[in-house]
């Protein structure tokens, strides 16, 4: 099966041969060369194998960014196993769902995040600590064995490497199974588009439980470059890393870049090494970035977890407002409700074909049949293609309305269901509104039961106690009755028209 395959472990060994003495990453105060990285991966794979992990088994990690993530990605690739990076910002119940959904053989958790596993059933998994150990949580460092006898697993590069859970479109988060081939394809396109070389240094500010953070790291790996791993986002530390390590590449979601520009101004840094920033930012921040860093480019793109990264990309300056051009080897089309292609300039659903498309939602056959109908991956996002092929994003389809505060994904239906659990709330409509700090914020309009009383802060905290805090409304409006259609359903369009400011 490996005759025509190239996996992430192959990439790591390739870099170890070609760039042996160059840094692969700097993390936790340690500089690790590509040769040392490959050796760390082999040793960790040996330990995981001794813990019972084999091809197809899942390894969950709940931790802040650190060397362990990168070692684990490589070790899983060598074993043919699948990493489940868990968003530690989720509530304990949401984390429990992710672990129950994937049934990991091994769970690794940081001591300060272990409370997020309070609702999880872990009796079927070996548990390890990403930090201080205890009797129930031996240190993950013990998994790095000196003896490495086994050979890499004979897997096809279509095999899964990651399960990344997306927002709860139907009440529970779905795990997107991403393959070696799709992830490496995405990395190659980004490395080529950005003109990356072994001299490039990625400042790893985005979390490794999100596809954006993983994709940025893999893109620089594809070029033989290095990553400075930031455990937490700190603007001053980012500026220091750019200046000290020659940081040339970083990802950003609001309000990160604005914070970096503020820190640079405060310290007198010109951010001279920085040349590529990719992500989402407000027009005001982008204008400031262009003025402060004329030597650097901001890159835009369109992608989602299910596409392993960006399936379209371009310099923002190439076509301001667009999401760039489709990457080579992939077809991006716009279709109507009957899956018929629409002409240039017309708005419809964005659909995708190509090797970056994910393998499917983990154990969700019905969802996969719907998502992959008629030979396309249906993104649930709306857009249009102009006459020159540039993609223009036009929001979410009604079936997949999504809010993105600071780059996170929030589905209104999940927040609405949570609000409806409050005894004072008869019904709620949740949607996104522009926000200067986060790009987009969650807003709720609540219909209060007759005689009941509830305040905005009370409902905001009610949501925050039940699901991830980033999903809580930032603003709440109250009405005696939400508008209804002739059929009796809540008229969401009318609510948004009246309260969307």
Q: Which domain holds residue 444?
A: 405-499
Given a cut of 70, whether residue 52 has pLDDT beyond it is yes
278, 216 in Cβ contact below 8 A?
A: yes
| 326 and 443 together in one domain | no
275, 242 in Cβ contact below 8 A?
A: no
Question: Does residue 245 sit within a domain?
Answer: no
Closest among 470, 411, 436, 403 to 254, alpha carbons compared: 436
What is the mean pLDDT of the segment spanning 219-235? 97
| 334 and 476 together in one domain | no
Residue 446's CATH number: 3.30.300.30
| 386 and 425 together in one domain | no
Question: Does residue 382 sit within a domain?
Answer: yes
pLDDT digits (tens, 9 = 90+) for 272-298: 999 999 998 888 999 999 999 999 999
Closest among 130, 151, 144 to 48, alpha carbons compared: 144
pLDDT value for 58 = 98
| 55 and 126 together in one domain | yes
pLDDT digits (tens, 9 = 90+) for 377-403: 999 999 999 999 999 998 777 666 778
Residues with Cβ within 8 Å of residue 446, at least 6 apart in sequence: 419, 425, 427, 428, 454, 459, 476, 477, 478, 479
Given a cut of 90, whether residue 404 has pLDDT beyond it is no
| 95 and 152 together in one domain | yes
Given a cut of 80, whether residue 331 has pLDDT beyond it is yes
pLDDT digits (tens, 9 = 90+) for 56-101: 999 999 999 999 999 999 999 999 999 999 999 999 999 999 999 9
* Mean pLDDT taken over the chain: 94
Name the DSSP letter for residue 97.
Answer: H
| 483 and 366 together in one domain | no
| 391 and 435 together in one domain | no
Residue 325's CATH number: 2.30.38.10
3-class secondary structure, 447:
strand
Final residue belonging to a domain, choices 181, 213, 231 = 181
pLDDT digits (tens, 9 = 90+) for 163-212: 999 866 666 789 999 999 999 999 999 999 999 999 999 999 999 999 99
How far is residue 496's CA from residue 409's CA, in Å, rounded to a whole number? 19
What is the mean pLDDT of the segment spanning 252-269? 95
248, 273 in Cβ contact below 8 A?
A: yes
| 394 and 432 together in one domain | no
Question: Does residue 157 sit within a domain?
Answer: yes
What kind and span of H or E run contains 313?
strand 309-315
Question: Does residue 85 sit within a domain?
Answer: yes
Q: How many domains does the chain have?
A: 3
pLDDT digits (tens, 9 = 90+) for 356-371: 999 999 999 999 999 9
| 363 and 412 together in one domain | no
| 445 and 361 together in one domain | no
277, 205 in Cβ contact below 8 A?
A: no
Question: Does residue 103 sit within a domain?
Answer: yes
Alpha-carbon distances, residue 188 vs 24, 224, 391, 421 (angstroms): 17, 11, 20, 46
3-class secondary structure, 106:
strand
Final residue belonging to a domain, choices 376, 400, 424 = 400
Structure-block tokens of residue 479: 């009405």
Lowest-confidence segment of 231-240, 319-328, 435-444 by average pLDDT: 435-444
Question: Does residue 294 sit within a domain?
Answer: no
Given a cut of 90, whether residue 155 has pLDDT beyond it is yes
């Amino acid at each position: 099966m490996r005759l025509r395959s190239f996996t992430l472990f192959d990439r790591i060994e390739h870099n170890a041969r070609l760039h042996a003495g160059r840094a692969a990453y700097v993390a936790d105060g340690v500089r690790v060369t590509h040769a040392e990285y490959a050796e760390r991966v082999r040793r960790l794979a040996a330990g995981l194998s001794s813990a019972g992990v084999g091809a197809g088994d899942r390894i969950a990690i709940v931790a802040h960014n650190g060397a362990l993530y990168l070692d684990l990605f490589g070790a899983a690739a060598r074993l043919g196993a699948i990493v489940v990076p868990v968003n530690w910002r989720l509530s304990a119940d949401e984390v429990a769902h992710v672990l129950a959904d994937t049934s990991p053989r091994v769970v690794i958790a940081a001591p300060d995040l272990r409370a997020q596993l309070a609702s999880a059933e872990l009796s079927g998994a070996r548990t390890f600590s990403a930090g201080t150990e205890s009797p129930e949580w031996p240190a993950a460092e013990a998994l790095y064995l000196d003896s490495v006898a086994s050979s890499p697993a004979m897997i096809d590069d279509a095999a899964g490497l990651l399960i990344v859970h997306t927002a709860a479109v139907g009440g529970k988060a779905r795990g997107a199974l991403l393959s070696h081939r799709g992830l490496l394809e995405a990395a190659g396109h980004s490395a080529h588009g950005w003109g990356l070389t072994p001299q490039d240094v990625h400042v790893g500010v985005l979390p490794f439980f999100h596809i954006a953070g993983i994709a940025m790291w893999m893109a620089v790996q594809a070029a033989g470059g290095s990553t400075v791993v930031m455990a937490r986002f700190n603007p001053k530390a980012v500026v220091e890393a750019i200046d000290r390590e020659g940081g040339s590449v970083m990802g950003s979601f609001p309000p990160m870049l604005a914070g970096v520009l503020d820190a640079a101004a405060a310290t007198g840094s010109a951010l001279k090494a920085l040349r590529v920033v990719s992500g989402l930012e407000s027009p005001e921040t982008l204008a400031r970035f262009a003025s402060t860093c004329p030597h650097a480019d901001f890159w835009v793109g369109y992608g989602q977890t299910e596409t392993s990264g960006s399936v379209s990309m371009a310099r923002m300056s190439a076509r301001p407002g667009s999401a760039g051009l489709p990457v080579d080897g992939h077809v991006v089309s716009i279709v109507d409700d009957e899956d018929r292609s629409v002409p240039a300039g017309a708005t419809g659903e964005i659909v995708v074909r190509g090797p970056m498309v994910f393998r499917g939602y983990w154990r969700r056959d019905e969802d996969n049949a719907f998502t992959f109908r008629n030979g396309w991956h249906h993104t649930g996002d709306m857009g249009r293609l102009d006459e020159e092929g540039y993609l223009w994003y036009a929001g979410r389809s009604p079936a997949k309305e999504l809010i993105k505060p600071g780059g996170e994904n929030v589905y209104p239906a999940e927040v609405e269901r949570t609000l409806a659990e409050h005894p004072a709330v008869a019904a709620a409509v949740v949607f996104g509104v522009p926000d200067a700090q986060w790009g987009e914020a969650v807003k709720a309009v609540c219909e209060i039961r007759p005689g009941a009383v509830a305040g905005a802060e009370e409902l905001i905290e009610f949501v925050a106690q039940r699901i991830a805090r980033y999903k809580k409304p930032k603003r709440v409006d109250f009405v005696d009755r939400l508008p209804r259609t002739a059929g009796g359903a809540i008229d969401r369009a009318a609510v948004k028209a009246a309260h969307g400011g």
